[in-house]
Amino acid sequence: MERGPNGRYSKEFRDEAVKMVVEGGISGYEAASRLSVPKSTLENWVRAFKAGKLKDIGAHQRPLTEVELELARVKRELSQVKQERDILKKAAAYFAKESLPSTR
């Protein structure tokens, strides 16, 4: 399941998210947090599914281009790498401080 850029979700993503709540027995709050989707959005999808209108959601949006999908993927990867870099910086500073003889 993959989320698109700017809060766009594929039909498959919406279907799987709703299936987690309806058939999987997972609460809406838990499913929303696992999928990083706003709880209200997931609730709207479940409501539309129960009314038989889930397939109508997002029908008016144009499909994402390959460039937009690649840009979203690269942005996610960059964000993750920045988080990892910040963690390593903090760890290096901590261990450097520990190795100084005057701080023991």
> CA-CA distance, 16 to 61, in Å (whole number)?
19
Q: Write the CATH number for 26.
A: 1.10.10
Task: Indicate if 19 and 2 belong to the same structural domain.
Answer: yes
Tell me the sheet residues that pair with 3.
9
Query: What pTM, to 2 d.p., does this model score?
Result: 0.53
The single-letter DSSP state of residue 63 is P
48 and 73, same structural domain? no
Q: Is residue 9 classed exposed, middle or buried when 0-12, 13-18 and 19+ CB atoms within 10 A define those classes?
A: buried
Tens digit of pLDDT at every position of the chain (104 positions): 555 555 677 788 888 888 888 888 888 889 888 888 899 988 888 888 888 877 777 656 677 788 988 998 899 899 999 999 999 999 999 999 888 887 55
Say whether both 44 and 95 belong to one domain.
Answer: no
What six digits make up the tokens of 61?
């949006």
22, 28, 79, 91 alpha-carbon torsion, rounded to 10°: -120
